[in-house]
Structure 1
Amino acid sequence: MRPPRRLIHVVSTWVRRQPPKMKAFLAVVIGMAALVLLRAIVHDHDNIFVAAEAVHSIGISVLIYKLMKERTCAGLSLKCQELTAIFLAVRLYCSFVMEFDIHTLLDSATLATTLWVIYTIRFKLRSTYVEDKDSFAIYYLAVPCGILALLIHPSTSHHIANRILWALSVYLEAVSVLPQLRIVEPFTAHYVFALGVARFLSCAHWVLQVIESRGHLLSAMGYGLWPSMVLISEIVQTFILADFCYYYVKSVFGGQIVLRLPSGVV
Structure 2
Amino acid sequence: MNVFRLTGDMSHLLAVILLLVKIHNTRSCSGLSLRSQILFALVFTFRYLDLFLEFYSIYNTTMKIIYLVTSYTTLYFMVVKFKSSYEKEAHWCRMEYLAIPSLILTALVTREYALLEMAWTFSIILESVAIMPQLVLLSSSGTAEVITAHYLFLLGVYRTLYIANWVYRYHVEGFFDPTSCVFGVIQSVLYADFFYLYFTRIVRNRKFQLPFHEGAQAGQAKNII
TM-score exceeds 0.5? yes
Cα separation, 2, equivalents of 1:96 and 1:261: 47
Asked whether 1:235 is paired with 2:185, we answer yes
2:127 is matched with 173
Asked whether 1:151 is paired with 2:111, we answer no
Q: TM-score, normalised by structure 1?
A: 0.71
Give the deviation of 1:166 after TM superposition. 1.4
Residue deviations 1:109-146 (CA, integer Å, cap 9, x gap): 01101101101111111111001457620111111111
1:46 is matched with 2
When residues 149 and 49 of structure 1 are mapped into structure 2, their CA distance, relative to the original with a 3 A threshold, is same
1:125 is matched with 82
Cα separation, 2, equivalents of 1:72 and 1:167: 34
SS at match of 2:110: coil
Asked whether 1:193 is paired with 2:143, we answer no
Does the 8 A contact of 1:48 with 1:201 survive in 2? yes
When residues 183 and 259 of structure 1 are mapped into structure 2, their CA distance, relative to the original with a 3 A threshold, is farther
Letter of the 1:171 partner, please give it: I
Give the deviation of 1:154 after TM superposition. 2.4
**Correspondence for 1:206 among 162, 166, 169:** 166
Matching of residues 51-70 of structure 1 within 5 Å? 51-70=7-26
Give the deviation of 1:93 after TM superposition. 0.5
Cα separation, 1, equivalents of 2:89 and 2:132: 16
Letter of the 1:190 partner, please give it: H
Asked whether 1:137 is paired with 2:90, we answer no
Give the deviation of 1:255 after TM superposition. 4.3
Cα separation, 2, equivalents of 1:231 and 1:261: 32
Does the 8 A contact of 1:92 with 1:104 survive in 2? no
Q: TM-score, normalised by structure 2?
A: 0.83
Structure label with greater radius of gyration? 1
**Correspondence for 1:162 among 91, 112, 116:** 116
The structure with the largest helix share of the pair is 1
When residues 150 and 98 of structure 1 are mapped into structure 2, their CA distance, relative to the original with a 3 A threshold, is farther
Asked whether 1:217 is paired with 2:201, we answer no
Number of residue pairs matched by the alignment: 206
1:20 is matched with none
Unaligned segments of structure 1, at least 5 residues? 1-44, 219-226
Asked whether 1:114 is paired with 2:74, we answer no
Residue deviations 1:37-78 (CA, integer Å, cap 9, x gap): xxxxxxxx7121111111112111221121111111000111
